[in-house]
A and B are shown apart, each in its own frame.
Chain A
Amino acid sequence: MMGWGVIRLWTILVYIFMFLPVAVVVLLSFNANQFGSFPVTGLSFRWFVELAENEAIIRAFKTSLLLGVLTAFISTTLGVLASLALVRYKVPGGNFISTLLIAPILVPEVVLAVALLLFLNFLSVHKSFFMLLMGHVIFTLPFVVLVVQARLIGIRRDVEEAAMSLGATPVQTFFQITLPLLAPAVFAGMLFSFTISFDDITGTLFWKPGGVETVPTQIFAMLRNSISPEINALGSVMIFFTVGVPLLGAAIARRLGNHQGR
């Protein structure tokens, strides 16, 4: 009895330790007072308004959004194609390729970031938005490949064979049978890539060309000068995005998967 009580208390403490800072940030972002301090002296949207008027932040926000959307799109397309090749066709060296695709998850991000940077230097390619995008694609791709592969293995080959026996060409079979059945995984992969790209900072710091800022690097830059309450507001927006988007996605995915038994 005693033992369980202690464990329960400990668990609660761990959760408080993890979520309290987040709660404080959100709370302070609504604080009317200039100096983020307790007790909160009044509620206001003042910092959000200032945020919306801060051009640097708006620009960073647009960059992040564009980067996230493009990353999601490219990663998902490549990930689906790679998974199809690896699961449905016996590619020579398939296991090796599979490991190679997953590897970016296993390698520490800093190492990956430096490696890619050195590689670009070696090739004398200049940093650009495109290179930043490629970097994001490389380390979001594993997530797409993992979820799509898992789902694809679950889609029985005989369902596709049945479609072909009924007169559908292989391409028609892919678009009418395989892709719809794969949709929840494709969707999840897209969301993963988007959120990972949206709040990535390590790789982005290494790869971004001068003058381009994403939301995380912008926050990072702002923190170096002073701790402004605007950052709290920005933090709240980030939390809203990175928590809200996947939740919304999960809801949609569940609806998509609703009629699909195995």
Chain B
Amino acid sequence: MSAVKLHNIVKKFGAFTAVHPMSLDIPERSFVTLLGPSGCGKTTTLRMVAGLLDPTEGDILVAGRQINDVPIHKRNLGIVFQNYALFPHKTVADNVAFGLKHRNIPKEERNRRVAEALELVQLPHLANSYPKQLSGGQQQRIALARAIVIEPDVLLLDEPLSALDANLREDMRVELKRIQEQIGITTIFVTHDQSEALAMSDILVVMSNGRVEQVGAPKEIYSNPTSRFVADFLGTSNILEAEITSEGGQSGLTAAAVGFVPLRDEQMAKLAGRAKAYLVIRAEKIDILPLDAGPDARLSFEGTIEAVDYQGQLVRYFVDVQGMKFQVLNMLSGTTSFEDGDRVSVRFDSQDCVAVGED
């Protein structure tokens, strides 16, 4: 049974529709991420599940029970906010104990569970500190402890890591995932950071303009986007307008600069009934080689490097192939590096290409 089920929920603010009819099944114990650009309705969706906003239409079910009219304090959900939202006038232990007190848990059990929760987030020594004495990362762990100590049906997190600096954010990401797996709690996580989303989720929900664009495992979505938006939003892609053609019984797409690219049937099937077709090539699936490199099984084109952007061990090339601009991400190898203006060989495998349709 699914832990959370959204059935055609809609949220309107006056004449503006922030969330269009949206349905989603969230399986027990899974880590689901709502990912999308700013303003696409992630927070609005999460707040409807939390009970902080009423859906204009549709049903929200938790553990099979319709909870539309259940007020937030009776929903048994754990919420972690972007800015931690710890109670500044209470100690860490009292913060964590707050939900247990409101559940009338006897004192001894309460103390035991608070201690366990602090143990889980690895901060038992801070029990008697006040929130303002803690670092951002510590505050976020306490906020997490406070939310999970009540053993909620679902854990809701709205950009919980975005207030932390980059290094801490990666540590917390690992930490959060560890805790989620350890206690096996169904989790809905909201972020606009795709690396976070790809690294943590069991199920990724990509949203745009109040609509769900694609739902699936992160790997699946990354390697096989079904819409132009998703192809563009996740990672760096080269998206070429294309026509459906076939050569020698093999169907594929034909686009400017690259010509005919044969595609597998399952990719061609995605275009059925769509008005427009695009050929998508991930930037890291393209290789830049010296012009004199020996031929291989891949498609090969001549191009000119227009700009080079070093990013640590990665390097991003901007390459012109017959007037089309390509972005290429390659590992920086010791032997070969290219400069602006170099003539190079641009290669990719047609197997790595994806087709997306648009209406």
Give the CA-CA distance A165 to B75 in the complex, in Å. 7
A156 part of interface (Cβ distance < 8 Å): yes
Per the bound structure, the CA–CA distance linking A158 and B80 in Å amounts to 10
A261 touches B131 (CB 8 A): yes
**Shortest beta-carbon distance, B157 to chain A, in Å?**
12
- Alpha-carbon distance between A61 and B13 when the two chains are bound, in angstroms: 57
With A167-B73, A167-B150, A168-B102 as given contacts, are A162 and B89 in contact (CB-CB < 8 Å)?
A: no
A163 and B87 contact, CB distance less than 8 A: yes
Report the bound CA distance from A158 to B88 in whole Å. Answer: 12
Residues of A in contact, count (CB < 8 Å): 21
Distance (whole angstroms) from the CB of B91 to the closest CB of chain A:
8
Contact of A161 among B71, B76, B85, B98 (CB under 8 A): B85
* Mask: chain B, 68-80; 1 = CB below 8 Å from A; 0 = not: 0001111111110
Kindly identify which residue among A161, A164, A166, A261 contacts B150, using a CB–CB cutoff of 8 Å: A166
Chain B stretch 101-147: residues in CB contact (< 8 A) with chain A: 102-103, 130-132, 143, 146-147
Residues of A within 8 A of B76 (CB): 167
Q: Is B291 an interface residue (CB 8 A)?
A: no
CB contact between B72 and one of A156, A161, A180 (< 8 Å): that residue: A161
A interface majority secondary structure: helix
A158 to B146, CA, bound (A): 14
Contact call B146/A156, Cβ cutoff below 8 A: no
The reply to whether B102 and A172 form a contact with Cβ atoms under 8 Å apart is: yes
Is B269's beta carbon under 8 Å from chain A?
no
- A165-B78, A172-B102 known; A158-B85 Cβ under 8 A: yes
Residue ID in chain A nearest B103 by CB atoms: A167
Quote the shortest CB–CB distance from A168 to chain B (angstroms).
Answer: 5
Q: Does B50 belong to the interface (CB within 8 Å)?
A: yes
Q: Please encode chain A, from 151 to 164, with 1 for each CB lying within 8 Å of some chain B CB and 0 for all others.
A: 00000101101111
Asked if B79 contacts A159 (CB within 8 A), the reply is no
Q: Are B89 and A180 in contact (CB under 8 A)?
A: yes
Q: Which residue of B lies closest to A258 (CB)?
A: B130
Residues of B within 8 A of A156 (CB): 83, 85
Q: Which residues of A contact B (CB under 8 A)?
A: 156, 158-159, 161-170, 172, 177, 180-181, 259-262
A167-B76, A259-B88 provided; 4 other pairs, C-beta below 8 A?
A165-B77, A166-B150, A170-B73, A262-B88
Residues of B near any A CB (own CB < 8 A) = 50-52, 71-79, 81-83, 85-89, 98-99, 102-103, 130-132, 143, 146-147, 150
